[in-house]
Structure 1
Amino acid sequence: MKVASKELLADLIERTENCMTEAENLYTKSKEELNYKSSPHTWSILECIEHLNRYGDFYLPEIANRMAKSSALPAVNFYAGLLGDYFAKSMLPKEKPNKMKTFKDKNPNGLSLNKTSIERFLSQQKTLLELLHRAKGVNLNKTKTAISISKFIKLRLGDTFRVVVYHNQRHLVQVNNVLKQLPLSGL
């Protein structure tokens, strides 16, 4: 995949802004609605958001760190890496999303959560937006980041941004699916 770096960043910024708007709308829901689960094995809205927070805890500092150390001049075009492109595309929301096993440290199932999870997510999204804007001055191809499942595998910064943003979108689709399942009588 080849895309103008400027276009990629603009797309990711727009997607992140949309995620923020969706998350802000969750403030109108009650604690009971935000914690509603159709079964013990599914995630509530807040569990979906907390899952994203846990990934943000790893990726945002990793991205900031690598960007700060990068000295390569920005490239006009971004070329997705083979592995990075695969990971990013696997995160994109789909009509019938492929099931993925969540690592234990990223699984919030069963936690007692409240609206502070939403606040933390929004704070992380503001940081992500700042990083995406700053990335205009960084080489998205030559700057590499570790991934959460292995410090030894490195992805191009552009691919890492895609993975993070698409992963956020994927779970906000899941949030919307939970919203559709809420009992009509209210909680």
Structure 2
Amino acid sequence: METQKLIEQLIGNSERHLQFAEACKKIDISHLNYKANAESWSVLECIEHLNLYGDFYNPSLKQSLSKAKPAVRRHFKPGLLGNYFTQSMYPKEKLNKMKTFKDKNPVGSTLNLSHLDRFINQQHQFIELLKEAEHKNLNFKTPISISKWLKLKLGDTFHFVSAHNERHIQQAKRILNQQKINL
């Protein structure tokens, strides 16, 4: 895939995620904290889960970009493992349930609109990192949150984070739809 096309696609995804978060700020907090049952997440818990991952990935991506060399080729080929992780994360009709790491599970947290602001700030940072990545070698290896020893290509990590965000934004939309709130 052309690097510029990938970057544009991921920026477009982040802009949609930003629009969703901005729209959520106009919804009553009781709807944002609504849970269908004790095990399910609220809209704000979905957002806080993304914040917890953003706390890891934004600084990690920034550091990796500072070390990555300028791009020689304008084409990015996903790695086998990175592509697998990304494709498994994208929302599907029959969604595969995934266990959340304990330190990334927001269940039971007291959440408010400031968590949406935090997500919005992180998405702005993510977009800036994507713009910087447009001129970098996306094959540079970068750490991921699940293992200190496992690293993915920078392009795969950006794509994975975007897919993970999309998965939980879709989850948040379903929670709002259960309450007859459409954005």
Q: Give the drift of 1:183.
A: 6.6
Q: Which runs of 5+ in 1 are unaligned?
A: none
5 Å matches for 1:7-156?
7-141=5-139, 143-156=140-153
Superposition RMSD on alpha carbons, in Å? Answer: 1.1
Q: Which amino acid aligns with 1:123?
A: N
TM-score (structure 2 length as normaliser): 0.96
Whether 1:165 and 2:162 are equivalent positions in the alignment is: yes
Deviation at 1:95, TM superposition (A): 1.4
Aligned length: 181
Task: Encode CA deviations 1:73-119: one digit per residue, 9 max, x unaligned.
Answer: 34211010000000000111111211000000000001110001100
TM-score w.r.t. length of structure 1: 0.94
State the AA in 2 paired with 1:83.
L
Contact kept, 8 Å, 2:70 with 2:135, in 1: the verdict is no
Contact 1:74 1:140 in 2 (8 A): no
Cα deviation code 1:110-146 (max 9, x no counterpart): 11100011000000000000000000111011x1111
In the alignment, structure 2 segments of 5+ residues that lack a partner are: none
Identity score, percent: 48
**1:93/1:173 contact within 8 Å kept:** yes
SS of alignment partner, residue 98 of structure 1:
coil
SS in 1 for 2:152: strand
Q: Matched residues in 2 for 1:171 and 1:42: separation?
A: 12
